[in-house]
Amino acid sequence: MHSVIGMIIGALVVAQAAIGSQQLHTRQDGIAELLTDINQISQYWGQIAPYRDNADSAFGVNNVGLPNGCQIEQAHSLQRHAQRFPSSYFDDGINDEKFAAKIQRQTRSSSNSSFTGPLAFLNSYQYQVGESYLTGIGASTEFESGVAFWNRYGRTVLNATVGQLQYNASYENATARPKPVLRTTSQSRMWNSQISWALGFFGPSFYETPMPGLDNFVNGSLFDVVIIPEGGTENNTLAAYDSCFEDLFTPLGLIGDDDAFLFYVPMYLADATERMNQYAPAGFQFNVNDTFAMQSICAYETGYIGRSDFCTLFTEDEWAGFELALDAEYYYDYSWGNPTGRAQGIGYLQELLARLQNEYIYSSNSSVNASITKNGEDFPLGRPFYADFTHDDIIISALTAMSLDYFREHPDLNTYPPDPDRHFFLSKITPFGGRLITEVIGCADPNPLEQHNARTQYYPTQYGYDPANAPHKFIRMRLNNGILPLDTIRGGQCAGRTDGMCAMEDFLASQAKAEELANYHFACFANYTLDDPFNGNDYDGTVNRDTEGITLYNGTITAEYVEDVLYG
Ligand SMILES: *[C@@H]1O[C@H](CO)[C@@H](O)[C@H](O)[C@H]1NC(C)=O
Ligand SMILES: *[C@@H]1O[C@H](CO)[C@@H](O)[C@H](O)[C@H]1NC(C)=O
Ligand SMILES: *[C@@H]1O[C@H](CO)[C@@H](O)[C@H](O)[C@H]1NC(C)=O
Ligand SMILES: *[C@@H]1O[C@H](CO)[C@@H](O)[C@H](O)[C@H]1NC(C)=O
Ligand SMILES: *[C@@H]1O[C@H](CO)[C@@H](O)[C@H](O)[C@H]1NC(C)=O
Ligand SMILES: *[C@@H]1O[C@H](CO)[C@@H](O)[C@H](O)[C@H]1NC(C)=O
Ligand SMILES: *[C@@H]1O[C@H](CO)[C@@H](O)[C@H](O)[C@H]1NC(C)=O
Ligand SMILES: *[C@@H]1O[C@H](CO)[C@@H](O)[C@H](O)[C@H]1NC(C)=O
Ligand SMILES: *[C@@H]1O[C@H](CO)[C@@H](O)[C@H](O)[C@H]1NC(C)=O
Ligand SMILES: *[C@@H]1O[C@H](CO)[C@@H](O)[C@H](O)[C@H]1NC(C)=O
Ligand SMILES: *[C@@H]1O[C@H](CO)[C@@H](O)[C@H](O)[C@H]1NC(C)=O
């Protein structure tokens, strides 16, 4: 944190001076201290931040060890895709492209005037970024994630032997293991993320005897994949907005984007925009959307080509503003700030609860597709691990549907610089390659003593675990390694422990009301509008006919209606 060397630029001169970080937040006489350390800058990139493990205690759980007599017996991973090109939202890729076109119009039309100072690179700049696809850096993030999942869980849930580098399709006794089933959506970046994750986890590029054709991998003998269509009106718990029709229409589906882009961006980027305009040629004006694009392009170029000339143009506060804008976008689109926040996450939660109880789901009242969840081929039960590939927002909506109130904190759209002591940081919740891992832990004791320190478990029985004597099951969740405070789940069923563990039956009880709260059919299909969408309202992620501030009309929004109006 404190090793940052700031660079000063300002109204007076482009100064040579570099000053220490103790003055990081000071701005005097129009002088702004710019952040230049990319490791620090990139922590402010919200959902487009590169993956970093959170500290075990990042979410306030201080006893982070596994108690004696306990071991992880099953792991469910909900894995986000990694670095991608920007998407075609008005405040994302579209805004970046508009900015690039504006620069190009200027530099093509006017050979006389040019950008100066730190913006001189714009005179010859070309925007090289595409849209939507997973990048090479993204693929390597997923590969690393697959390796990390093996390294963390292979020894405990898959009985890895000494020196075993990757998953082995057979047990010690050479009998085949049941084939793992990975699930992804059909979207290019998602499916590619699953492929690279699997390359890391199943490890065919680092066998003892090199297998250049990756034959095991290629012939499908190691694992199966269920590819759930995305992009229409289908039920898909890993892209649940598709079947939550109300959310497909504006403004409801975009209230977070509008809060962030139309309200917060003009506030926090006013100074930066003025600063940029000092280096603009006569007749050219940057506006706040342009300045926002410069921050966004910095992040996307870094996720694509590994660097960017846009990154060193902003102060730490301005990066913190960028982060808050993104936090607000997601909070009000997909979490407690949106009437469909819970509905968009309930489907995955139902699937998780079904797997935890070894039950199929035979009929759906959510984004679950019961054709998938009622058969063991697509939805096998009792497996040592699960891996599902999804989007950032689904992870957030699932935590919302769970009522994990630790994160129920409205980003404050009226404060700049933002409060650094808040809980809802997208960069910690869903960076590129983010992952929510639900661990099922078996213990000998019904109330095992909390263990303060993290301990490497070199082998499963190291601290007294005995698989034949572990009748007491617990749930613990890790979000990008940080242990989630399950004791903050509303209702208090998981209260009592200080190590993030919650007894299985208590966890199930804590979720008994989740479906009712999500009110899926009403939230997603009723014909309602929000009277005042951009008021930072707390909908608690749900809505019903008595919710204040909605107007309910006749009719329901059907798949046919959506296909007609949106895809017709
Ligand atoms: C560039 O400068 C020349 C000479 O001063 C002038 O004639 C011309 O109009 C200028 N072009 C633009 C686009 O400003
Ligand atoms: C786990 O590994 C040990 C030692 O390699 C072996 O004795 C045991 O049979 C294995 N258990 C299973 C379930 O494969
Ligand atoms: C997998 O395990 C079997 C049985 O122990 C062993 O024969 C085989 O070599 C292992 N395969 C790999 C790729 O390690
Ligand atoms: C091989 O080991 C697995 C795991 O312990 C067990 O389920 C299976 O029955 C064993 N197969 C044989 C042929 O012993
Ligand atoms: C896949 O390839 C591996 C390695 O060549 C081979 O051992 C295995 O039998 C093959 N499986 C199938 C289903 O073709
Ligand atoms: C459910 O999945 C099946 C295939 O598994 C598919 O044919 C069907 O269209 C899906 N239904 C919905 C509503 O998405
Ligand atoms: C920024 O973009 C938004 C959305 O496209 C637009 O409504 C707004 O007017 C733009 N702001 C400026 C200053 O151009
Ligand atoms: C919704 O489906 C789940 C899973 O099948 C079931 O347990 C629950 O009772 C259903 N809820 C309603 C309101 O139909
Ligand atoms: C898809 O979701 C709707 C709404 O919850 C549900 O009525 C329908 O049964 C689901 N379709 C399948 C195949 O599960
Ligand atoms: C809604 O439907 C009811 C019953 O069909 C009808 O009496 C009422 O006038 C309708 N309301 C509106 C606003 O269309
Ligand atoms: C929703 O209500 C509005 C206002 O009455 C009406 O114009 C619209 O057609 C309704 N939509 C559907 C899908 O029924």
Which ligand has the shortest distance to the CA of 176? 4
Atom 8, ligand 11: residue with shortest CA distance: 555
Q: Is any atom of ligand 5 closer than 6 Å to the C-beta of 207?
A: no
- Unique residue bearing structure tokens 């696809």: 133
pLDDT confidence of residue 106: 94
Residue 337 lies in a domain: yes
* Atom 6 in ligand 6: residue holding the nearest Cα: 371
Domain assignment of residue 165, yes or no: no
Distance 246 CA to ligand 10 centre (A): 20
Q: Which atom of ligand 3 is nearest to the CA of 161?
A: 5
Give domain status of residue 501, yes or no.
yes
Protein residue with its CA nearest to atom 4 in ligand 4: 171
Mean pLDDT within 341-352: 98
Q: Which two tokens stand for residue 184?
A: 């992804």
Distance, in Å, from the CA atom of 82 to the CA atom of 144, rounded to the nearest integer, reads 11
Nearest-atom index, ligand 5, CA of 219: 1
Residues 534 and 548 reside in one and the same domain: yes
**Residue 175 Cβ contacting ligand 4 at under 6 Å:** yes
Establish whether residue 369 lines the binding site of ligand 6, counting it when its CB lies within 6 angstroms of any ligand atom.
yes
- Confidence band, pLDDT 50/70/90 cuts, at residue 251: confident
> What is the rounded CA–CA span in Å between residue 119 and residue 55?
37
pLDDT over threshold 60, residue 13:
no
Which two structure tokens, joined as six digits, stand for 371? Answer: 């054709």
Instruction: Classify 241 as helix, strand or coil.
Output: helix
Give CA separation, 519 vs 110, 237, 276, 346, 559, in Å: 57, 16, 47, 9, 18
Residue with CA nearest ligand 6 atom 2:
371
pLDDT tens, residue by residue, 186-220:
999 999 999 999 999 999 999 999 999 999 999 99
pLDDT range class, residue 368, cuts 50, 70, 90: very high
Tell whether 151 is covered by a domain: yes
Question: What pLDDT sits at residue 27?
Answer: 47
Query: Are residue 79 and residue 227 in the same domain, yes or no?
Result: yes
Q: Which residues contact 280 (CB under 8 A, 6 or more apart)?
A: 115, 119, 286
In a shared domain, residues 454 and 473: yes
pLDDT at 4: 26
| 155 domain residue, yes or no | yes
Same domain, 45 and 18: no
Question: Pocket of ligand 5, candidates 221, 222, 223: which has the most ligand atoms within 8 Å of its Cβ, to mutate?
Answer: 221
Pocket test for ligand 7, best of 95, 97, 261, 290 (most atoms within 8 A of CB): 261
Residue 183 tokens read as: 């699930």
| One domain, residues 22 and 66 | no
Q: What is the pLDDT of residue 31?
A: 67
Q: Which residue type does 412 have?
A: D
Measured in whole angstroms, how far is the alpha carbon of residue 271 from the centre of its chain? 30
pLDDT digits 0-9 by tens, 390-430:
999 999 999 999 999 999 999 999 999 999 999 999 999 99
**342 lies in which domain range?**
39-160+175-568
- Which ligand lies nearest the alpha carbon of 186? 6
pLDDT at 362: 98
pLDDT, residue 265, reads 97
Calpha distance 8→313 (Å, rounded): 10
199 vs 217: CA distance, rounded Å: 8
Q: What is the percent of the chain with per-residue pLDDT over 70, rounded to a whole number?
A: 94
Atom of ligand 9 nearest to the CA of 525: 4
User: Do 241 and 279 lie in a common domain?
Assistant: yes
- What is the number of domains present in the chain? 2
In a domain, 169, yes or no: no
Q: What is the pLDDT of residue 262?
A: 92
Residue 8 sits in the same domain as residue 70: no
Ligand 7 pocket residue status of 288, Cβ below 6 Å = yes
Task: Determine the average pLDDT of the residues in 434-461.
Answer: 97
Among all bound ligands, the one having the nearest atom to the CA of 520 is: 9
Query: How many Cα atoms are found within 13 Å in the side-chain-facing hemisphere of 35?
Result: 23
Reported confidence tier of residue 9, pLDDT bands at 50, 70, 90: very low
pLDDT (0 to 100) of residue 16 = 28
- Report how far residue 76's alpha carbon sits from residue 72's, in angstroms, rounded to the nearest whole number: 11
Whether residues 211 and 354 fall in one domain? yes
Task: Examine the domain organization and report whether 447 and 326 are in the same domain.
Answer: yes
Query: Which numbered ligand comes closest to the C-alpha of 367?
Result: 9
From 79, 95, 91, 547, select the one nearest 330 (Cα to Cα): 91
Q: What is the pLDDT of residues 21-30, one digit of tens each?
A: 333 444 444 5
The atom number, within ligand 3, closest to the CA of 164 reads 14
Length of the chain as a residue count: 568
Contact 493, 510 (CB under 8 A): yes
- 170 pocket-lining for ligand 4 (C-beta < 6 Å): no
CB 202 within 8 A of CB 183: no
Residue 345 CA to ligand 8 centre (angstroms): 15
Residue to mutate, 371, 372, 373, 525, ligand 6, most ligand atoms under 8 Å from C-beta: 371
172 lines ligand 2 (CB under 6 A): yes
For residues 22 and 71, state if they share a domain.
Answer: no
pLDDT of residue 360: 98
Q: Residue 55's domain is classified under what CATH number? A: 3.40.50.1240
Residues 45 and 20 in one domain: no
Compute the distance from residue 237 Cα to the ligand 6 centre, in Å: 12
Separation CA 384–CA 75 (nearest Å): 7
Q: For residue 471, how many C-alpha atoms fall within 13 Å in the half-sphere facing its CB?
A: 2
Looking at residues 166-185, what average pLDDT do you find?
97
Residue 167 resides in a domain: no
Q: Is 95 in the pocket of ligand 9 (CB under 6 A)?
A: no
User: Is there a contact between 330 and 392 (Cβ–Cβ < 8 Å)?
Assistant: yes
Q: Which atom of ligand 1 is the closest one to the Cα of 113?
A: 14
Return the residue whose CA atom lies nearest to atom 9 of ligand 9.
364
- Ligand 3 atom closest to Cα of residue 172: 5
Is 209 close to ligand 4, i.e. is its CB under 6 Å away?
no
| CA of 557, closest atom in ligand 11 | 13
Kindly state whether residue 281 falls inside one of the protein's structural domains: yes
* For ligand 3, atom 9: residue with the closest CA: 168
- Output Rg (C-alpha) for the chain, integer angstroms: 25
Whether pLDDT at 521 is above 50 = yes
**9 and 101 assigned to the same domain:** no
Structure tokens at 425: 């940081």
- Our mutation pick for probing the ligand 7 site, out of 90, 262, 273, counting the most ligand atoms within 8 A of Cβ, is 262
Q: Take atom 9 of ligand 1 and give the residue whose Cα is closest.
A: 112
